[in-house]
Structures are given as structure tokens and as C-alpha cells.
């Protein structure tokens, strides 16, 4: 069962899977053909296939076909039948997808059997996929092979930075990437992003009974405005109560249009054990949605990233980092979880992202340019007794030993892996060898 925001490519992926596997695709779209859901009676997969054969005028052979149930959130009967296909007809591959699937799963009156239905979250295209779409496989191979201790050529870094600057304007929704790769103008790309945003807003009507559309729209606008900072319910809009803002954010998350970045104390693994519900950041499903919301200009050419206002560069860096870090996860189950840390009370301090790789807690400091202080990171490393951190900025990749004192006068030493923003998606591979114990005083 594929989950993901509308227009992320779920249907295309299943059609491509059928073609690659040599199976005939039997595709049902419950949004287009809602009457077919009555065929899905509990516990009778053979009868279901027989009825489908009659309704669709096709022969269905479990050994030769792939059954695809699209927009399955509109058919609870079909959702319930998935377990019976698994148990009684294991030779037939069955795939399902739905852009508002989480709403159906939250309301279903049946149990989704563990081990019989596997979930996969589909993300927008990452930077590596974007490079492949533009025929830049050679460049991708070079940057993907970088590991700490090696050197990336200046040419590769400059080319990757140039392409990443364009990716930061285009985003990863497949139709938009295809238009960009096909030579569409930046102005046309931005219009496509606005049209997609209008489509997402139109979807609000499908769950408007749960929340006023104006409140949902205000919450979505607030996500774009608060990128990089704490999402505060009280700031969503004038006259909007905090409980309404909270519910609106929850609905946008269920629609996969927004992702929460949850606070963690990062006191140990798993990071989810240290979550505090009153602190959260929020990011959009795709950076293209952000551009449509903020009205970033584009005409004959996209604006140079460095020409944007410093505050907007910081917001986009946070959004792009979130998208790339989500791709570092397998996407199974409910999908990736992102975390950050901030100091509670007293002195200000924040770690943009905190990740878990290879059994290690990895703080990730973001910079939209090439320079910036790391006071919070130094103190965080000392307090948590960690020895490995990541800094993502516009510099070429590097590795260095940090040996300094915190603002509180504490001596701290750790290993800092510097990666350009365009390499964040590859952090698990980059840090794969960094598994020896890193403690204060044991940094080499």
C-alpha cells in the first residue's frame, strides 16, 4: 500500500512496476469508478476476481496479472479485502494507493492485519533522481561516491551546486521535474507549482467537514512562513483558536501535504523516546509548494539562490534539508520521522535536525551560506557526550576535528563532517564507516 501526497507519482510507479515485471495490469480507480467497491466482499478473493473480470471485460490470471487498487481511500470494502488476498491468493500481487489514505485508515471499522499489508511512503524526487532526469548520471556518480577523507573536485562541487540551486526552485514533484527536464521556462514551472497548490487546496473540500477550509489554508500558509522555526499555533491567524490550529496541522499532516519535525531531548536512542508534544517545526511536502505559497519570482530565469533575502535562504535550506533527510529513511510503515532540538528556557539554542544513523545520534547544523557560528552545536556535543556531528552548508565536503570551548567554558572535542546541502540525502552511506565509539576525549 503506497502512501504519499497527491501527484507524487504513486500511480505511475505501480504502472511502471507492472511493465517491468511483465505482468498485465488490472487497474481500478475507486474515485473514477466508485460502483466497483461493492464487488469487494469480505473473505472471497476468487469471487472478487470473477466479478471484476465481468465488470472490466478482462481475464484475470493471478500468475500473470498485477491488481492495482487506486484511490483506495474511497473504498473501505477494498481495504478490508486486502488481508484475504494475502491469505488465500498469495500468488497474485496486489498494490493499493491513495492520496488521502490516512483519513480512511483513521476511520476504518476493521483491523489492518499486521504482516499482511506492507506500507511504503512515496516522497517527491530527491536531488539524485533530479540529476538523473536531466541526464547528469556522471555527476551523480561522482558526488555519491564521496566519503570522509576523500576530496571532491572543485568542478564537481560547482556543477552539483549549480544543479542543486535549480532543484531548490523546481522541487521534486514528477510532473514539474519532467517539465523542467523538457525545457519549460522557469515561469511555466512556477505556474505548474501554483496549479498543484490550487489542487491541494481543492482537496480541502474532501475533509472540510473536519475543519473550516479557511483555517486549513491559514495553517498551510503558516507552515511556509515559519520554516526553520517553531510552529506556533497562536500565530496561525487572527481569530483562529489554538485547538483549531492544532487540528488543522494534524489534518495537513494526514494528507501528507505537511510533515512535522518533532522536538527530541536526544538523551538516547530511539530519538522518539524523547519527544515533547508542545514543541514542533513543520515543513511542506515539497519545496515547490513553498515557492507557490511564498510567491518566489520566476520568469525567464530562476533567481540565483544567493540573491534571495537571507531569511528566505534560511527557510529554503531548512525545507530542502528536511526533504533530503526524509529520503535517508526507507519509507516503510508510517514513513520517515524527523527531529530537532532546542533549549528550553534560559539561553537560546537549537540544533536544526537530530538524526539516528548506524546506531549513533547525529546532530545536524544547517547554514544557508558558507559560514556561521556553531555555539549551540558545541554545547550540545558537550552536554550529550557525543563525538560526531554534521554541518551542512554551501562548502565542498570535508571532515575536521573540532577542539574548542563552549560559551560556558567547557572543553569539547568532536569530529565534524561537513557536507553540502546537496549531499544530505546520502548521509547514511557517508557516515557508514563512522561507527567506532565517539566520546569526549576519544576523537581522532
Which tens digit of pLDDT belongs to each residue from 407-426? 999 999 999 999 999 999 99
Question: How far apart are the C-alpha atoms of 391 and 367, rounded to whole Å?
Answer: 8
Question: How far apart are the C-alpha atoms of 93 and 346, rounded to whole Å?
Answer: 56
Question: How far apart are the C-alpha atoms of 326 and 337, rounded to whole Å?
Answer: 7
The answer to whether the predicted template modeling score (pTM) of the entire model surpasses 0.85 is yes
Structural domains of the chain ordered from first start: 2-121 (3.40.50), 128-430 (no CATH)
What is the DSSP secondary-structure string of 141-160?
HHHHT--TTS---HHHHHHH
**Could you tell me what percent of the chain has a pLDDT over 70?**
94
- pLDDT 10s digits, 6-62: 999 999 999 999 999 999 999 999 999 999 999 998 788 999 999 999 999 999 999
Q: Are 193 and 171 in contact (CB under 8 A)?
A: yes
C-alpha distances in Å from residue 142, one per residue of 196, 247, 304 = 33, 45, 24
Measuring CA to CA, which residue among 312, 335, 316, 315 is closest to residue 170? Answer: 316
Q: Are 340 and 281 in contact (CB under 8 A)?
A: yes
What pLDDT shows up at residue 81?
A: 86
Rounded-to-5 percentages of helix, strand, coil across the chain: 45, 20, 35
Instruction: Give the confidence band of 105 by pLDDT, cuts at 50, 70, 90.
Output: confident
Residue with more model confidence, 366 or 436: 366
Amino acid at each position: 500500500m503506497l502512501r504519499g501526497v497527491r501527484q507524487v507519482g504513486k500511480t505511475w510507479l505501480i504502472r511502471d512496476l507492472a511493465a517491468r515485471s511483465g505482468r498485465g495490469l488490472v487497474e481500478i480507480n475507486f474515485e473514477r469508478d466508485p460502483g466497483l467497491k461493492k464487488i469487494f466482499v469480505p473473505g472471497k478473493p476468487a469471487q472478487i476476481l470473477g466479478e471484476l473480470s465481468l465488470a472490466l471485460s478482462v481475464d484475470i490470471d493471478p500468475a500473470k496479472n498485477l491488481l492495482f487498487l487506486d484511490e483506495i481511500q474511497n473504498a473501505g470494502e477494498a481495504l478490508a479485502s486486502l488481508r484475504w488476498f494475502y491469505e488465500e491468493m498469495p500468488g497474485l500481487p496486489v498494490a493499493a494507493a491513495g492520496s488521502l489514505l490516512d483519513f480512511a485508515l483513521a476511520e476504518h471499522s476493521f483491523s489492518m492485519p499486521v504482516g499482511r499489508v506492507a506500507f511504503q511512503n512515496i516522497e517527491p524526487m530527491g536531488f539524485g533522481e533530479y540529476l538523473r532526469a536531466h541526464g547528469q548520471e556522471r555527476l551523480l556518480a561522482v558526488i555519491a561516491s564521496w566519503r570522509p577523507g576523500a576530496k571532491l573536485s572543485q568542478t564537481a562541487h560547482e556543477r552539483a551546486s549549480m544543479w542543486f540551486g535549480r532543484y531548490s526552485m523546481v522541487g521534486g514533484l514528477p510532473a514539474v521535474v519532467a517539465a523542467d527536464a523538457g525545457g519549460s521556462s522557469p515561469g511555466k514551472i512556477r505556474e505548474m507549482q501554483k496549479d498543484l497548490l490550487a489542487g491541494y487546496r481543492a482537496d480541502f473540500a474532501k475533509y472540510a467537514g473536519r475543519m473550516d477550509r479557511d483555517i486549513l489554508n491559514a495553517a498551510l500558509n503558516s507552515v511556509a512562513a515559519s520554516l526553520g522555526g517553531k510552529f506556533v499555533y497562536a500565530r496561525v491567524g487572527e481569530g483562529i483558536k489554538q485547538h483549531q490550529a492544532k487540528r488543522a496541522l494534524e489534518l495537513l499532516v494526514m494528507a501528507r501535504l505537511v510533515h512535522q519535525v518533532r522536538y527530541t531531548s536526544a538523551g538516547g536512542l530511539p530519538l522518539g523516546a524523547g519527544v515533547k508534544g508542545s514543541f514542533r517545526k513543520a515543513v511542506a511536502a515539497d519545496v515547490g509548494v513553498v515557492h507557490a505559497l511564498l510567491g518566489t519570482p520566476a520568469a525567464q530565469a530562476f533567481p540565483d539562490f544567493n540573491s534571495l533575502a537571507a531569511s528566505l535562504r534560511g527557510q529554503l535550506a531548512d525545507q530542502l534539508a528536511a526533504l533530503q533527510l526524509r529520503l535517508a529513511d526507507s519509507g516503510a510503515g508510517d514513513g520517515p520521522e524527523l527531529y530537532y532540538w532546542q533549549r528550553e528556557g534560559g539561553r537560546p539554542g537549537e540544533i536544526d535536525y537530530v538524526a539516528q544513523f548506524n546506531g549513533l545520534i547525529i546532530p545536524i547544523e544547517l547554514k544557508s551560506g558558507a559560514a556561521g557560528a556553531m555555539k549551540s552545536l558545541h554545547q550540545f556535543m558537550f552536554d550529550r557526550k557525543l563525538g560526531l556531528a554534521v554541518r551542512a552548508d554551501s562548502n565542498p565536503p570535508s571532515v575536521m576535528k573540532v577542539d574548542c570551548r563552549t560559551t560556558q567554558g567547557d572543553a569539547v572535542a568532536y569530529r565534524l563532517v561537513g557536507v553540502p546541502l546537496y549531499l544530505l540525502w546520502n548521509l547514511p552511506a557517508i557516515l557508514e564507516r563512522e561507527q567506532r565509539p565517539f566520546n569526549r576525549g576519544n576523537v581522532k
